[in-house]
Amino acid sequence: MPGLSIDLGGQTALVTGASRGIGLAIARVLALCGADVIGVGTTISQNAETLAVDFEDLRGSFRPVDCDLSDRDAIAAMLAEIDANGAVINILVNNAGIIRRDEAASHSTDDWDAVMAVNLDAVFLLSRALGSKMLERGHGKIINIASVLSFQGGVLVPGYAAAKGAVAQLTRALANEWAGHGVNVNAIAPGYVATDNTSALRQDVTRSESLIARIPASRWGKTEEIAWPVAFLASDLAEFVHGAVLPVDGGWLAR
Ligand code: NAP
């Protein structure tokens, strides 16, 4: 039986989009639980000194790695560097994401491609590369950060909603293949969380008030409130959880 606390000691986690927001909180919570974290961002190494303070006194360590996840060659180069360093990734958190707000009729192709590249393609490419190594070892955890817009169409974010819907389906598809081989693939579907990603929404007072009025918990979520369920899914406590897309949304989807 696993212990009563979440213990990720001896595990290495790769967390994408770890420079800020939900990804930074996930990286901190995983390190708090003992994991050594490789945090990926486009220019995350430039913030290394600031981030080091965030990880002081945690059980695990933090190493920032720059990679533009919209660039497939850059992903391949990062994976090669991880291999060359001999790092074994036990936990993959596909968190990096971007959003482009526009009406469908004027949503540009460039914005569509950018959203798909980071929010969906990179999730598949990293899961395939690191998941296949987990399969060889017969153990590993992949946690994708989906969205309540994996279940709903959203407003003025057609590319984002399409990509997040696909992330939920990819989660289930990978779980169907890999659950029998010791690899857990699950997703968290955050509701509305206070980060840079939602700053435009929060600055629009009318829209923000109407969103809060619709959230049973009557408030925006905090980044740590997404991070702890990720830590649970990354731990042996969640060994029998496969293909779940868990809403962490203050009750938004229950309404
Ligand atoms: P955020 O504050 O905007 O941070 C986004 C993170 O993704 C940053 O660390 C950023 O790195 C990274 N990133 C973006 N493009 C990248 C690229 N091309 N290559 C590498 N890294 C890239 O976002 P957030 O609100 O924390 O969202 C995190 C995840 O949760 C996303 O998948 C988002 O869709 C999802 N989500 C958020 C909410 C919410 O309410 N906030 C709700 C549902 C789902 P840089 O700093 O280097 O750019």
Architecture of domain 12-254: 3-Layer(aba) Sandwich (3.40)
Pocket of ligand 1 from Cβ distances under 6 Å? 16-23, 40-44, 67-70, 95-98, 118, 145, 147, 190, 192-193, 195-198
Coil, helix or strand for 181? helix
**Closest among 130, 170, 143 to 227, alpha carbons compared:** 143
- Collect all residues with Cβ–Cβ distance below 8 Å to 122 and sequence separation of at least 6: 16, 69, 70, 75, 94, 96
> What is the rounded average pLDDT of the residues 46-53?
94
C-alpha 46 to ligand 1 mean position (Å): 17
Cα separations in angstroms, 246 against 40, 162, 242:
23, 18, 11
> What is the per-residue pLDDT for 175?
99
Q: Is 11 helix (H, G, I), strand (E, B) or coil?
A: coil
CA distance 174 to 91: 15
Report how far ligand 1's centroid is from the alpha carbon of 34 (Å): 23
Please report the pLDDT score of residue 201 as a whole number.
87
- pLDDT, residue 1, reads 59
- Ligand 1 pocket test, pick from 69, 75, 193, 197 with the greatest ligand atom count within 8 Å of Cβ, gives 197
Residue 2 Cα to ligand 1 middle (Å) = 32
Q: Judge contact between 93 and 13, C-beta under 8 A.
A: yes
130 pLDDT tier (thresholds 50, 70, 90): very high
Q: What is the pTM of this model?
A: 0.98
Distances (CA, A) of 252 to 141, 151, 248: 27, 11, 9
Contact 227, 21 (CB under 8 A): no
Can you list the alpha helix ranges (DSSP code H) found in the chain?
21-32, 48-54, 72-84, 109-116, 122-137, 158-178, 199-203, 205-214, 223-234
- Tell me the per-residue pLDDT of 167-221, one tens digit each, with 9 for 90 and over: 999 999 999 999 999 999 999 999 999 999 899 889 999 989 999 999 999 999 9
Q: What is the DSSP string of 119-174?
A: IIIHHHHHHHHHHHHHHHHT-EEEEEE--GGGTS--SS-HHHHHHHHHHHHHHHHH
Neighbours of 28 (CB within 10 A): 23
- What pLDDT does 230 receive? 99
Pocket-testing residue among 24, 50, 95, 215, ligand 1, by greatest number of atoms within 8 A of Cβ? 95
Ligand 1 atom nearest the C-alpha of 149 is 43
Q: Report the distance separating Cα 255 and Cα 86, nearest Å.
A: 47
The CA distance from 121 to 67, in Å, is 14
CB 101 within 8 A of CB 157: yes
Question: Whose Cα sits closest to atom 8 in ligand 1?
Answer: 17
Interval 90-119 mean pLDDT: 97
Q: If you compute the radius of gyration of the chain from its CA atoms, what whole number of angstroms results?
A: 17
pLDDT at 4 over 90: no
Query: Is residue 192 annotated as part of the catalytic site, yes or no?
Result: no
Delimit the domains of the chain by residue range.
12-254
Of 94, 97, 120, nearest to 188 (Cα)?
Answer: 94
Which residue puts its alpha carbon closest to atom 39 of ligand 1?
A: 193
Asked if the model's pLDDT at residue 59 lies above 70, the reply is yes
Checking DSSP bridges between strand 245-248 and strand 140-145, what pairing results, if any?
unpaired
